Chain A
């Protein structure tokens, strides 16, 4: 018997209309754990390096994390992986909610989709019964609407549905996959789903997930709940409210948006409004939020409430999480009411809440600068809110200027030309980033922005405070119960880190310390994404309930595999390295590892080069950011080394 996992994959070929249930190799679990790790392994093995996002050969994989469906609190992530039309590199995005556990209860660890359906279709997985069903009646329907229709026509109110909207159908490069209160948004994976002619996957399962050492495993789960309770009662001191607690940033619960609105940029990541927040704004935003928010809601098996049901009078109800509350508002220099309204339409269309608003703000900047003219915007309303709605409608239909904009800022700028490239100032590897522009270079963030395969800072950072504490006392207080550190040296890094002077940014943390800190932060994300653990309970917040010291016991008691800390750490290293190899094979090199030019005002080219050298070295990569033969060998990935060698990406003599 397999424990924690089901041991079966669903292989769907939409071109041929075939469905197969295939037993997976348990060795892969030991090597890559599950979720992102095994998704990556499949993409490496089976998608040719030359395949583009919209080729039939490209795979779209919905992977459940290894611990999804067990009783481990907050383990509910579906990891969707494919190749991105926008970055042309590997894309992977996670969604919370309820889908992955349901897939496990249906008896599968992942769904692997290849080919292209001749007609729009949806997949219905009900335990052993799996069908490809006609979805022509769902064409053009919103993602949430689609889910409701499917549940109704199947008479399965408990089915969990992941669906695309119009944006996915029309292959918008930042189309999302929506699933009620959650979505997998980054990297244009919704466009790949649309290209495959797949409107939705509905799943319902009523089978068991088995646990290898039940009593031990359950005791660990109880400890997590206990710690969550403790942390709810003891928020972190001396930090801003938004990062004091657990979970995704508590955007639905909190009203105080001073930090976001005065630190993040408005428009096309352009303007900082330091004095935006005042009592009047706070009062009206609070009233607004309270009037539309029906209930705070969670994901599967989690006591936190990171999402909310939103009902704005006159438009359909939808669910929101996190920061999308502000992205449209701030991109349009508008208010919260507009944000809540447009997010409803954007959710139904299925677009990424980070990218879409920035693309629209970028378009309006080009208009203002005369690069685009009135002729490009026929019939566009005069008010900015109206303009955003108008643009969104065009983008998801790829109508007129919407067609170029549907490819995202990077590609649109190149298509439009006439100097539009200069307005593309907030992308990394062709992908829109959080609207942040700062002063002094932060060495840790420099590395995370530059090298993260995830290309999304919120999915890389966490664990280590973003800023130094002001006083020694505050630092000592913070480290006093910092049990999550993998090594005592991290406490020293924090204790020595000063806001000003010699031991401050950009020269402190030192190169070595910065590399250590980044390594720890990203490894935790890699573990979460393999195990299906919500980052909001693990890699993202300060002092989370899950950490490197309890993961091994979780994995071992759930699966029966014997894995100690070193083995778990190595699996994370292996997954991280494999992702790098996948992207390297597709042409990514050192020159691509960089933040937006203007992310920091004060840049230090020499130091940055040294940081990158140090990081590559600690990872076992060469100066181009390519994993070396020796390091691949050490991780048991000689096949990867061989492939890269054959392609001449790593030299024969290289060690």
Chain B
């Protein structure tokens, strides 16, 4: 299979360096305001600091995928003697919490790595984090061509087929498409 290059943008998050200032929230919300920078509202930010100062918990989390239902069977983490809540590390915009939803409409928010034209040198939250808790990391990966973009729907359908079998999925689809 042919190989192609794929750029993967991401952040290395050094939570130990976070001082809890929320500058990243400020700038993310401003950058995504329309017109740009015209308003500030951390509740609209696509990065949030999950913080509990007395427990010394500071976790910068970027908004990831939307999920329609919350997890069942949640876990607590204990790391270095600190107990983290079940959802602390999760990036989902999820019905279980207020995080990563537009405060007015409730629509999910998702980090877009500050996509812009022309592209920014680095994402805004990284630029405003003077403590180097957020470090921009871009890497190129060689992947099989077929793997490049299976598409969200395809992944979803595949997992459904895995679970219920092709026939049941087809029957359901047929029923849904008539409805």
**Roughly how many angstroms separate A355 CA and B124 CA in the complex, as a whole number?**
43
With a cutoff of 8 Å between Cβ atoms, the chain B residues found around residue A297 in the complex are 19-20, 53
A 178-196 contacts with B by CB, 8 A = 180-181
With a cutoff of 8 Å between Cβ atoms, the chain B residues found around residue A73 in the complex are 23
Given known pairs A294-B56, A301-B21, the reply for A209 and B39 (CB within 8 Å) is: yes
CB distance from A150 to the nearest CB of B (A): 14
Q: Does B38 contact A211, Cβ atoms closer than 8 Å?
A: yes
Interface assignment of B130: CB less than 8 Å from any CB of chain A: yes
With a cutoff of 8 Å between Cβ atoms, the chain A residues found around residue B27 in the complex are 71
Q: Does A71 contact B26, Cβ atoms closer than 8 Å?
A: yes
Contact residues on B (Cβ < 8 Å of other chain), bracket: 20 to 34
Q: Does B22 contact A301, Cβ atoms closer than 8 Å?
A: yes
Q: Does B39 contact A208, Cβ atoms closer than 8 Å?
A: yes
Interface assignment of A317: CB less than 8 Å from any CB of chain B: yes
Q: Does B35 contact A214, Cβ atoms closer than 8 Å?
A: yes
Q: Does B37 contact A218, Cβ atoms closer than 8 Å?
A: yes
With a cutoff of 8 Å between Cβ atoms, the chain A residues found around residue B84 in the complex are none
Q: Does A228 contact B130, Cβ atoms closer than 8 Å?
A: yes
With a cutoff of 8 Å between Cβ atoms, the chain B residues found around residue A294 in the complex are 56
**Roughly how many angstroms separate A208 CA and B102 CA in the complex, as a whole number?**
11
Given known pairs A229-B130, A305-B19, the reply for A214 and B54 (CB within 8 Å) is: no
Contact pick for B53, options A206, A229, A309, CB 8 Å:
A309
Q: Does B21 contact A298, Cβ atoms closer than 8 Å?
A: yes
Q: Does A209 contact B41, Cβ atoms closer than 8 Å?
A: yes
Q: Does B37 contact A303, Cβ atoms closer than 8 Å?
A: no
Residue-wise, chain B 2-38 has the 8 Å CB interface mask toward A (1 for contact) of: 0000000000000000011111001100100101111
Among A180, A309, A316, the most chain B Cβ lie within 10 Å of the Cβ of: A309
**Roughly how many angstroms separate A215 CA and B80 CA in the complex, as a whole number?**
43
Interface assignment of A319: CB less than 8 Å from any CB of chain B: yes
Q: Does B39 contact A210, Cβ atoms closer than 8 Å?
A: yes
Q: Does B40 contact A208, Cβ atoms closer than 8 Å?
A: yes
With a cutoff of 8 Å between Cβ atoms, the chain B residues found around residue A301 in the complex are 21-23, 26
Contact pick for A217, options B22, B37, B54, CB 8 Å:
B37
Interface assignment of B58: CB less than 8 Å from any CB of chain A: yes
CB distance from B122 to the nearest CB of A (A): 13
A 288-304 contacts with B by CB, 8 A = 294-303
CB distance from B41 to the nearest CB of A (A): 4
Given known pairs A180-B53, A208-B41, the reply for A303 and B36 (CB within 8 Å) is: no
Q: Does A295 contact B56, Cβ atoms closer than 8 Å?
A: yes
With a cutoff of 8 Å between Cβ atoms, the chain B residues found around residue A317 in the complex are 54-56
Q: Does A298 contact B37, Cβ atoms closer than 8 Å?
A: no
Contact pick for B19, options A70, A144, A206, A296, CB 8 Å:
A296
Interface assignment of B128: CB less than 8 Å from any CB of chain A: yes
Contact pick for A105, options B23, B33, B37, B43, CB 8 Å:
B43
Contact pick for B23, options A144, A181, A303, A319, CB 8 Å:
A303
Q: Does B103 contact A218, Cβ atoms closer than 8 Å?
A: no
Interface assignment of B145: CB less than 8 Å from any CB of chain A: no
**Roughly how many angstroms separate A310 CA and B42 CA in the complex, as a whole number?**
27
CB distance from B116 to the nearest CB of A (A): 14
With a cutoff of 8 Å between Cβ atoms, the chain A residues found around residue B56 in the complex are 294-295, 309, 317
A 206-241 contacts with B by CB, 8 A = 206-211, 214-215, 217-218, 225, 228-229
Q: Does B19 contact A105, Cβ atoms closer than 8 Å?
A: no
With a cutoff of 8 Å between Cβ atoms, the chain B residues found around residue A256 in the complex are none
Interface assignment of B52: CB less than 8 Å from any CB of chain A: yes
CB distance from B25 to the nearest CB of A (A): 9
Residue of A nearest to B37 (CB): A214
Residue of A nearest to B25 (CB): A301
Interface assignment of A148: CB less than 8 Å from any CB of chain B: yes
Contact pick for B38, options A180, A214, A316, A319, CB 8 Å:
A214
CB distance from B15 to the nearest CB of A (A): 10
Given known pairs A71-B30, A217-B37, the reply for A302 and B21 (CB within 8 Å) is: yes
B 39-77 contacts with A by CB, 8 A = 39-44, 52-56, 58
With a cutoff of 8 Å between Cβ atoms, the chain A residues found around residue B96 in the complex are none
Q: Does B19 contact A207, Cβ atoms closer than 8 Å?
A: no
Q: Does A295 contact B40, Cβ atoms closer than 8 Å?
A: no
CB distance from B9 to the nearest CB of A (A): 22
Q: Does A144 contact B40, Cβ atoms closer than 8 Å?
A: no
Interface assignment of B159: CB less than 8 Å from any CB of chain A: no
With a cutoff of 8 Å between Cβ atoms, the chain B residues found around residue A303 in the complex are 19, 21, 23, 129-131
Residue of A nearest to B55 (CB): A317
B 58-113 contacts with A by CB, 8 A = 58, 98, 103
Residue of B nearest to A299 (CB): B21
Q: Does A298 contact B41, Cβ atoms closer than 8 Å?
A: no
With a cutoff of 8 Å between Cβ atoms, the chain A residues found around residue B37 in the complex are 71, 211, 214-215, 217-218
With a cutoff of 8 Å between Cβ atoms, the chain A residues found around residue B98 in the complex are 158
With a cutoff of 8 Å between Cβ atoms, the chain B residues found around residue A651 in the complex are none
**Roughly how many angstroms separate A316 CA and B55 CA in the complex, as a whole number?**
10
**Roughly how many angstroms separate A313 CA and B20 CA in the complex, as a whole number?**
23
**Roughly how many angstroms separate A228 CA and B128 CA in the complex, as a whole number?**
12
Interface assignment of A636: CB less than 8 Å from any CB of chain B: no
**Roughly how many angstroms separate A319 CA and B38 CA in the complex, as a whole number?**
34
Interface assignment of A69: CB less than 8 Å from any CB of chain B: yes
A 517-538 contacts with B by CB, 8 A = none
CB distance from A144 to the nearest CB of B (A): 7
Q: Does B30 contact A148, Cβ atoms closer than 8 Å?
A: no
Residue-wise, chain A 63-82 has the 8 Å CB interface mask toward B (1 for contact) of: 00000011101000000000
Q: Does B41 contact A105, Cβ atoms closer than 8 Å?
A: yes
With a cutoff of 8 Å between Cβ atoms, the chain A residues found around residue B40 in the complex are 69-71, 208-209, 211
CB distance from A151 to the nearest CB of B (A): 10
Residue-wise, chain A 44-78 has the 8 Å CB interface mask toward B (1 for contact) of: 00000000000000000000000001110100000
CB distance from A490 to the nearest CB of B (A): 29
A interface list, Cβ under 8 A from B: 69-71, 73, 98, 105, 144, 148, 157-158, 180-181, 205-211, 214-215, 217-218, 225, 228-229, 294-303, 305, 309, 316-319
| 5 shortest interchain CB distances as A-B pairs | A303-B130, A214-B37, A206-B43, A206-B103, A208-B39
Q: A225-B128, A297-B19, A300-B22 are in contact. List 17 more A-B contacts (CB 8 A).
A: A206-B41, A206-B43, A207-B103, A208-B33, A208-B40, A214-B37, A214-B38, A218-B37, A296-B19, A297-B53, A302-B23, A303-B21, A303-B130, A303-B131, A316-B54, A317-B56, A319-B54
Q: What are 23 contact pairs spanning A and B, CB under 8 A?
A: A70-B40, A71-B30, A105-B43, A148-B54, A158-B98, A206-B103, A208-B33, A208-B41, A209-B39, A209-B41, A211-B37, A211-B40, A214-B30, A214-B35, A214-B37, A214-B38, A218-B30, A218-B37, A299-B21, A302-B21, A309-B54, A318-B54, A319-B54
B interface list, Cβ under 8 A from A: 19-23, 26-27, 30, 33, 35-44, 52-56, 58, 98, 103, 128-131
